[in-house]
């Protein structure tokens, strides 16, 4: 059960990190666009 949990949580964490980085780059692009 723990192995399956880690197996499913790993892709979710990677997807969350990529989504978080996408939001950061999007905010930087908007800030540079306004400034």
Let me know how long the chain is. 35
pLDDT of residue 15: 80
* Global pTM exceeds 0.85: no
Residues of the chain with pLDDT under 50: 1
- Measured in degrees and rounded to the nearest 5, phi and psi for residue 31 equal -65, -45
pLDDT of residue 1: 47
Taking the C-alpha atoms of residue 35 and residue 16, their distance in angstroms, rounded to an integer, is 29
Alpha helices in 1-35 (DSSP H): 2-34
Q: Identify the three-state secondary structure at position 1.
A: coil
Taking the C-alpha atoms of residue 8 and residue 28, their distance in angstroms, rounded to an integer, is 31
């Amino acid at each position: 059960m723990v192995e399956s949990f880690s197996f499913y949580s790993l892709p979710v964490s990677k997807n969350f990190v990529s989504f978080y980085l996408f939001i950061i780059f999007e905010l930087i692009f908007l800030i540079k666009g306004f400034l």
